Amino acid sequence: MGMKAARKTKLKTIGVLGGMGPEATAYFFGLVTRNTRVSRDQDHIPVVVCSLPQVPDRTEAILRGGPSPLPFLLRGVEALRRAGADFAVMPCITAHYFYPALAARSPLPVVNLLDETVSEVRGRHPGIKRIGLIATAGTVRSRVFHDAFEAAGIEVLVPDARAQKRIMSAIYGRRGIKAGATAGTPRNAILDVAAGLVRRGAGGIVAGCTEIPLVLGDEDLPVPLIEPMRVGALACIRRAGGEARRSVSRKTRPRPGGAGRRVRPAA
């Protein structure tokens, strides 16, 4: 579909159920904006963002029976509906543990980033048989990625217990990614974990947490970086009736401090 035809088509409104966390939500919105092919402001897709940082921690709910995020997610989707969204998407990967319950009660269709990610790997990287997962402990323990990928015949490799602790510290630590640190120790920890997965035979790395792409990019890896947020952004562009750019943009900010480091190929 060319731009002239696209302008004649009424675009649907994307509803972003965000705040988990806020920076990752802004990153997702940026992906939609930068990857939509336009020639003027009016060609962009309408987007409504509902940022709810007060949603209870997803990992705490999954691992330790903490407060359920579901009531907050349902409230957010209802707010998106009232604001005019035609469908919703959750950039937070860990929140997809609650996707079945949310989708069953949601007043809007909800894009599933897990399903979109598996389709992306099968379509663009059919040779990948083993994939490394960098995600929160809650996502790993929930096995939502395992179930999705193994159903497609792809083995999921996860970090060992020590490496998983480094991931959690990089994300949740006082000087971690959620606290705004995207250089130095958090980035180096994620690079080290990715290197270990590549050495074990991962043919691709899944950024299974919304914070991971904030410190890890294509240029850091000798294998494809599979970024569910980017995949989801492209899926939302298509679903809304827009046209994705041919050259897909992922980079949103510089990575100072350790930017020269990258994961080396397995020997």
Report how far residue 131's alpha carbon sits from residue 10's, in angstroms, rounded to the nearest whole number. 38
For residue 239, the tally of other CB atoms under 10 A from its CB is 16
Is 71 exposed, middle or buried, given 0-12, 13-18 or 19+ CB atoms closer than 10 A? exposed
| CB contact set of 120 (below 8 Å; sequence gap of 6+) | 226, 231
Residue 216, phi then psi, degrees to nearest 5: -130, 130
Cα 261 to Cα 195, 217, 257, 258, 266, distances in angstroms: 11, 11, 9, 6, 15
Report how far residue 55's alpha carbon sits from residue 17's, in angstroms, rounded to the nearest whole number. 11
Geometric angle at alpha carbon 239, from 235 and 240, rounded to 5°: 120
- Residues noted as catalytic: 92, 209
Nearest CA to 193 out of 221, 174, 173 is that of 221
Token digits for 255? Answer: 């990575």
Is 216 exposed, middle or buried, given 0-12, 13-18 or 19+ CB atoms closer than 10 A? buried
Among left, alpha and beta (phi > 0; psi -120 to 50; other), residue 48 is: beta
